[in-house]
Amino acid sequence: MTNLNLDAISAQYERLGIAPEVLDFAGKIEEALAPRFRAIDQNAEFHQLRVLSAMQKHKVSAACFESSSGYGYDDIGRETLEKVYAEVFETEDALVRPQITCGTHALALALMSNLRPGDELLSPVGRPYDTLEEVIGIRPSKGSLAEYGITYRQVDLLPDGGFDYDGIRKAVSKKTRMVTIQRSKGYQTRPSFSVAQIAELIAFLRAQKEDLLILVDNCYGEFTELTEPSQYGADLTAGSLIKNPGGGLCRCGGYLTGTKECITQAAARLTSPGLGKEVGASLGFMREFFQGLFLAPVVTAGALKGAIFAANLYERLGFPVIPNGTEERHDIIQAVTLGSREKLIAFCEGIQAAAPVDSFVTPEPWDMPGYDDPVIMAAGAFVQGSSIELSADGPLREPYAVYFQGGLTWYHAKAGILMSLQKLYEKKLVTIGLI
């Protein structure tokens, strides 16, 4: 790139309000990341070819994009899409529907359809994500698993973030029917789990009780590694289409992939016993569902670059980050422990200010449904709540960690991170000159 082009790009950043010293500080960090970014691009190429192959194998055609209404009988697009998902995730079957409203809904569907009164659910990875607490009944809520006589047990992680295998062995009992493994960190400052770690845990669980059902919450992790947990014996994986696999195009929806039996149970719960997968109108969503999946590997790669850039930048500023600047990535979420309410709010203000939508809005903490503490969220997105788009959020509680993710392009992710630093710099909450 010529100096003229670099100068022109710098001028655009300054036009957005990024101070030259912020830009200079970040530029040095970006230069050092070139080898890692090349590896991410190779991973994206690998997955792009896998998705392309799956679409070709199952003969995706223009007819698949047609809309169905009412009962949605014989919807060729819906049926083909689910075959493509099963192919990509290497499972027997899949359920991919606009009627699955979010990631929490996908997980609740997996749990409620495959557990029965008297069964026990075990989490070997500690506390679940906040919104699942009411699904399970850890916090009382109407319609929870607890109300149906399904019990819950958890084994906390070891201090180093590893699995407590002795504790897990003791926790698995005759009542234990399903194990839920949350791949990403949620609102916790623990490491996210690699596919290799999850595979090892699945093998260990199977050795304790062969007929356990194993569910992996795959949110934020799709296409970040060469393989998926579904390729190592998970009975179900679940996620949201407004995260990685939707490629930023899906306006709603969720997915489950897994064994034929588990997917059949889930479909009966989503629609009705006796109807299952045979009904459910696609309502004009099929084109974006197919195209979003097609773009997902490249969009996820951009989000990964943004996460790595954020980790290195804020680590240089002295903030604890998980993962750190050199660790391998297993999801698109970057946790930064900011240490104060003021810094958390300023960071989110910067992400919002860098958005293409509602950039003029100032985010404020509020009591979101499903959460126990006020949460601040910055997300000027084309799709409401889409966390594959540039966003940041965090609960207003110690240690005041922010969770950054997304960016439909690497360049937008970069702009958001620069703007988050800019807001901290303007408020004199960080000092760049001493770095």
Rg over alpha carbons for the chain, rounded to the nearest Å, is 22
Q: What is the pLDDT of residue 1?
A: 47
Q: Report the alpha-carbon distance of residue 36 to residue 235 in Å, rounded.
A: 33
Q: Report the alpha-carbon distance of residue 292 to residue 352 in Å, rounded.
A: 24
Q: What is the pLDDT of residue 185?
A: 85
Q: What is the pLDDT of residue 153?
A: 97
Q: What is the pLDDT of residue 370?
A: 67
- Sketch the domain layout of the chain as residue ranges: 3-46+297-426, 67-293
Identify the three-state secondary structure at position 94.
Answer: strand
Cβ-contact 262, 236 below 8 angstroms? yes
Q: Give domain 67-293's CATH number out of 3.40.640.10, 3.20.20.70, 3.50.50.60, 2.40.40.20.
A: 3.40.640.10
Taking each helix axis from N to C end, the angle separating 286-316 and 410-426, rounded to the nearest 10 degrees, works out to: 40
CATH architecture of the domain with residue range 3-46+297-426 = Alpha-Beta Complex (3.90)
* Per-residue pLDDT tens digits for 277-323: 999 999 999 999 999 999 999 999 999 999 999 999 999 999 999 99
Quote the strand ranges of 11-137, DSSP E: 93-97, 120-123
Give the residue ranges of DSSP H helices in 156-285. Answer: 165-171, 195-208, 260-270
Cβ-contact 242, 379 below 8 angstroms? no
At 426, give phi and psi (nearest 5°): -60, -40
Q: What is the pLDDT of residue 2?
A: 54
Q: Report the alpha-carbon distance of residue 312 to residue 399 in Å, rounded.
A: 20
Asked if the bond preceding 229 is cis, omega within 30° of 0, the reply is no
Length of the chain: 435
What CA–CA distances, in Å, run from 156 to 25, 176, 181?
Answer: 39, 17, 12
Give the residue ranges of DSSP H helices in 129-252. Answer: 130-136, 165-171, 195-208
Identify the three-state secondary structure at position 91.
Answer: coil
Cβ atoms within 10 Å, residue 61: 12
Cβ-contact 282, 77 below 8 angstroms? yes
Question: How would you classify the pairing of strands 236-240 and 213-217?
Answer: parallel
HEC-encoded secondary structure of 320-369: CEECCCCCCCCCCCEEEECCCHHHHHHHHHHHHHCCCCCCCCCCCCECCC
What would the two tokens of residue 8 be? 């022109």
Place of tokens 């949110």: 219
What is the DSSP code (8-state) at residue 409?
Answer: S
The closest of 181, 307, 321 to 244, measured between CA atoms, is: 307
Give the amino acid at 253: G
Cβ-contact 123, 176 below 8 angstroms? no
Residue 337's DSSP bridge partners are 401
The closest of 206, 259, 204, 250 to 230, measured between CA atoms, is: 259
Q: What is the pLDDT of residue 344?
A: 97
pLDDT tens, N- to C-terminus, the chain (435 residues): 456 688 899 999 999 999 999 999 999 999 999 999 999 999 999 999 999 999 999 999 999 999 999 999 999 999 999 999 999 999 999 999 999 999 999 999 999 999 999 999 999 999 998 889 999 999 999 999 999 999 999 999 999 999 999 999 999 999 999 999 999 987 777 889 999 999 999 999 999 999 999 999 999 999 999 999 999 999 999 999 999 999 999 999 999 999 999 999 999 999 999 999 999 999 999 999 999 999 999 999 999 999 999 999 999 999 999 999 999 999 999 999 999 999 999 999 999 999 999 999 999 998 877 677 899 999 999 999 899 999 999 999 999 999 999 999 999 999 999 999 999 999 999 998 644
* Per-residue pLDDT tens digits for 244-269: 999 999 999 999 999 999 999 999 99
The terminus-to-terminus CA distance of the chain in angstroms comes to: 27
* Per-residue pLDDT tens digits for 382-431: 999 899 999 999 999 999 999 999 999 999 999 999 999 999 999 999 99
Place of tokens 């010529």: 2
